[in-house]
Amino acid sequence: MRAFLALPIPADVVAYLKDVAGRLERRTEGVRWVKDEGIHITVKFLGEIEEPKAEKMREALAPIGARIGPFRACLGGLDAFPSKRSARVIVVKLKEGTERIQAIFEEVEECLAALDVEKEKRGLVPHLTLGRRRIPKPFPNGDPMPIEEKEFLIGELVLFKSTLTPGGAIYAPIWKIKLGGENE
């Protein structure tokens, strides 16, 4: 299965970001906007993994939930990767919570390296993806839109299965590690 690890965000923040994407859509062409379930903080893309390996990953990562409790994050501003002049991915960066996300990322990297999962070469820039372009163009078109500094709680690390379809990827949770609590 094609899989990735992510930190889900609350539905009210997803709804707000979908509204932001809707306003951006009216003034930004050539962007494929993500669906609601696609708005999360990706910690690590794993690619194709077998189900037995997914279970081993869960066992290896479970102690993270005991060591790191739930924490607050806060939306920052609009940005783009690799740059605003050559935007392929439209994102919202975080103003708060990035240190804890980095700590989770580093623990994930160490735990999974023991299972022969290759470490990320680029590191992690915590963000929420709103849309992607095939052909890079400058972003934003016109004045940048302000983003409300909405605070929210991050409370779990989830392994998602990603099924690619002509209508876009479909995400399904495989397992969850509650931060500061019992695992599912």
Exactly one of 91, 107, 108, 127 is catalytic; which is it?
127
Annotation says 40 is catalytic: yes
Provide the angle, in degrees to the nearest 10, between the axes of the packed helices 51-67 and 98-113.
Answer: 130
Exactly one of 24, 31, 40, 139 is catalytic; which is it?
40
Residues classed as catalytic: 40, 127
